[in-house]
A = this chain, B = another copy of it.
Amino acid sequence: MSDAEQTRQNILTVAADEIHQHGFKATSLSVILNRCEISKGALYHHFTSKIELGYAVFEEIYTPMFLDLWQSALAVEDPVEGLCTFFTSMTEQMSCSEVVCGCPLNNLCEEMANVDEGFRLRILSMQEQLNQSIVDALEKINDDLRDGLALSQVSYFIVATLNGATTLSKSSRNKELFKQVIAELCLYIRALKK
């Protein structure tokens, strides 16, 4: 990787971390510059504005990380169990910073979706992508599922609950609350089967 590309990647990584910790608006460019040990000129050579940097973080860091994670949970023989073990392992692996900071995408969604159209469209697109992935995975085992399920609705329900659980544990700083909601969510998901 060229030096320039290295610099760019470094900016993206640090910016992703800062945005995760403090949100987009509260993220200060000068903090990023200090952490990267570069000048403001360097940053503005690679990105035209703060918000363009934000978009790049979303597209190049958050989105692939997020989709890969879900794919690994869904691309198994039984996606119902895949999701449950995925969620359960989240409750165990969840580090302190993740409890406090929440899901980066969920945060960005809360903060920026109704403020900036660029973020909103990117978030929306990703949500639809994720929803489709879940629906596809569930349809593969359609024969094992209860009749009359609205799979898209079910999928949005699952995602909404997971986000709600993250927010809950984040605001209470309480991993236990997250575990409880996840436990109930797993009960719901397993009850989708016949």
Q: Is the CB of A181 within 8 A of B167?
A: no
Q: Is the CB of A180 within 8 A of B150?
A: yes
A20: min CB distance to chain B, Å: 12
A44: min CB distance to chain B, Å: 24
Q: Is the CB of B168 within 8 A of A159?
A: yes
Q: Is the CB of A180 within 8 A of B167?
A: no
The verdict on A170 contacting chain B, using a C-beta distance below 8 Å, is: yes
Q: Is the CB of A160 within 8 A of B159?
A: no
Q: Is the CB of B168 within 8 A of A160?
A: yes
The verdict on A188 contacting chain B, using a C-beta distance below 8 Å, is: yes
Oligomer copy total: 2
Chain B residues contacting A188 (CB-CB under 8 Å) are: 157, 188
Chain A, 127-165, contact with B by CB distance < 8 Å: what is the 0/1 string?
Answer: 100000000000000000000001011101101111111
Q: 3 closest pairs, A vs B, by CB?
A: A164-B164, A160-B164, A113-B171
Chain B residues contacting A170 (CB-CB under 8 Å) are: 110, 113-114
Chain B residues contacting A173 (CB-CB under 8 Å) are: 114, 120
Chain A, 3-30, contact with B by CB distance < 8 Å: what is the 0/1 string?
Answer: 0000000000000000000010110000
A43: min CB distance to chain B, Å: 23
The verdict on A109 contacting chain B, using a C-beta distance below 8 Å, is: yes
9 pairs, CB–CB < 8 Å, chain A vs chain B: A109-B167, A113-B170, A113-B171, A120-B173, A157-B181, A157-B184, A160-B168, A161-B161, A161-B164
